[in-house]
Amino acid sequence: MKGKRLLRVAALGATQEAVEQVRLHLDVPWLETWGFLADSPTLHEDLNFNGISALVAMADPGAPLHALLRHLEATSHGDRPVVLVTDEARDAPWAHAFRMGIVELVPLRRLTETVLRSSFLELERRPGLLRGNGSFNEFRQLFDSITRYGRTGALELSLPNGTATLQLRWGRVLEAKGVALGPDGSPVVPANTPWLFREQPPPLTEAQREFEPLASEEPPLIEAVVEALPIVTAADVVPQQTSLLVVDDDPSVLKLMHDFFRHRGFKVRAAPGGPEALQALAAEHVDVAVLDLDMPKVDGWMVLGAMREDVRTWDTQVLLFSAHDQYREVLARAGPTSHAAVPKTTRLTEVERHVRQLMVPRVQLERRLASRSIDESVTLEQLDRVGTGWLLLALERARVTGMLRGAAAQAKYALWFSDGRLVQAQGVFEQGRCAGLDALRLVLASRPRSMVLEPGTVPVGEGFEGHPTGTIVSVVEQRLAIEQHHLGQLAVSQAVAVSVNEPLYQLYAHVGSPLQRQIAQALCELHVAPSDLSAHLGIAQDTITLVLRELVRRGVIQLSGGLEAA
């Protein structure tokens, strides 16, 4: 860091002892700290006179939180970033989205330089908004957090009869349009109501209008903010905005994981086996799948293989969960499309850390979109870590207007957005041009590693009949998935010869599940034709196809007639 000036931070506490405890943790090179009693009658003048830009407040266990917030409101410092030192830090993930007011909740023992850097120096990287679909009591938790921590901003609700808005100041509803309020002052909305909350600075108070700061050539904030990409950690991942699928054939393990992640705030579903997992993944978008490898019938390897070949699950992050402790070997065997692996002996808190870490690239990209100015061009790198489909939905959530362009091996394409809605798509390749759904299909199928988001002028005309971006992406992904499925079925039905790698088959005969071994035996020892396996064994054709494709991926067999090219 090359800045010469320090960031001036005030340590607040109910007692002088509490103030000094906080100041001990603020001993970092780029901070200049001052200490004040939170109930001092001259606090407003002291903070302004000393050019205080941020606050670290020790929550008083003997006094309610709202007393401190009301005091900050009265002294006109609610718009400044505040780190609240408290052992009740369950709402910290909500706070990590905001730039004003309470921006961090952390126990004193965890008040480190890393936390202070994230809370004060990198606020411009934060989106300043939260959004969700209202599932799993999500909206109730949001509104409780807004009122508990005295947020100021606008809350939008997408109701069946239109959009409702609420204006909040210091956690209190000032105005409500299009929605009724309940006895407790909260909006009465149906379940699964999409919502969006944007923070806003509180209005100036009389004290702020009358205060005349001392003349100075130096602003109170630090001169040089860290010259690096936004630092995003696992702690910045908001569970309420992360959908999770846990898959395990052991009912006790499945319930334990489901209840643990639900208690931690994640939007979690459970699947007791491979077939159920594939159904759940195809039915609804999932951010992270925690996948047990050792399951009967359709095991985790087969599920992972199927996910690689289904465009609807290309964007899903995968945490492999194995009873074997050789997790590094497991991860290497899974290949580059798997993202993490842990043994089942891992503590659930550590499993959660891995889940959060898988979401860090997405949080980082969302913050980059939120901090982008209207006329700025941004190169979006490492899209293979977030997914092309997910990126398009992120652009919708960020309400981006502009052009997204990229290139594949022998094609170029461009997508135009207006306030987050995809309005046009065009592709150019050797054989000609395409537009609309065909162009979007080209983008999704090519899985680009990088694209460029430019201001761009949205062309005249409508290419998608006014449908939301999410709907358009879902339609194209569904079509691609159907094509992939039919291709796999066709390849199996047309296979006319089987070549067996005997050593690998003998190994597979010992490690495969009973169902897999049954199919492999019929194919490799009884020489049943691939197209006849379903009728011969009485097993569904979809399951036969999954196993055969898994055998091909593992090198156990080679089929002539089309599967290897599918």
Question: Where are the domains positioned within the chain?
Answer: 7-125, 129-211, 236-361, 372-481, 495-565
CATH number assigned to the domain with residue range 236-361, chosen from the 4 options 1.10.220.150, 3.40.50.720, 3.40.50.2300, 2.40.40.20 = 3.40.50.2300
Taking the C-alpha atoms of residue 493 and residue 490, their distance in angstroms, rounded to an integer, is 5
Output 305 or 104, whichever has higher pLDDT. 104
Tokens of 338: 């798997």
pLDDT tens string 395-436: 988 888 889 998 876 788 899 998 888 998 988 877 678 888
Region 537-559: mean pLDDT is 75
- pTM for the full model? 0.53
Decide yes or no: CATH 1.10.530 for domain 495-565: no
Provide the pLDDT confidence category of residue 139 given band limits of 50, 70 and 90.
confident
Confidence of residue 499 (pLDDT cuts 50, 70, 90): confident
Alpha-carbon span 190 to 221, nearest angstrom: 44
Gap between the Cα atoms of 118 and 114, Å rounded: 6
| The pLDDT of residue 194 is above 60 | yes
Reduce the secondary structure of 8-67 to three states and give it as a string.
Answer: EEEEEECCHHHHHHHHHCCCCCCEEEEEEECCCCCHHHHHHHCCCCEEEEECCCCCCHHH
Residue 473 CB coordination number (10 Å): 24
Position 215 confidence tier, pLDDT thresholds 50, 70, 90: very low
Domain 495-565 in the same topology as domain 236-361: no
Q: Look over the chain and give the mean of its residue pLDDT values, rounded to a whole number.
A: 78
pLDDT in tens, 299-327: 787 888 788 777 888 888 888 887 654 44
Residue 288 has pLDDT above 90, yes or no: yes
Percentage of the chain lying above the pLDDT 70 cut: 79
Q: Answer whether residue 269 shows pLDDT above 90.
A: yes
79 or 33: whose pLDDT is higher? 33
pLDDT band at residue 565, thresholds of 50, 70 and 90? very low
Report the pLDDT value the prediction gives residue 76, as an integer from 0 to 100. Answer: 54
Q: Is the pLDDT of residue 333 over 60?
A: no
Q: pLDDT tens digits for 218-258?
A: 443 333 333 334 567 777 787 888 899 999 988 999 999 99
Specify the pLDDT at position 491. Answer: 60
The class level of CATH for 7-125 reads: alpha beta
> Largest Cα–Cα distance of the chain, in whole Å?
92
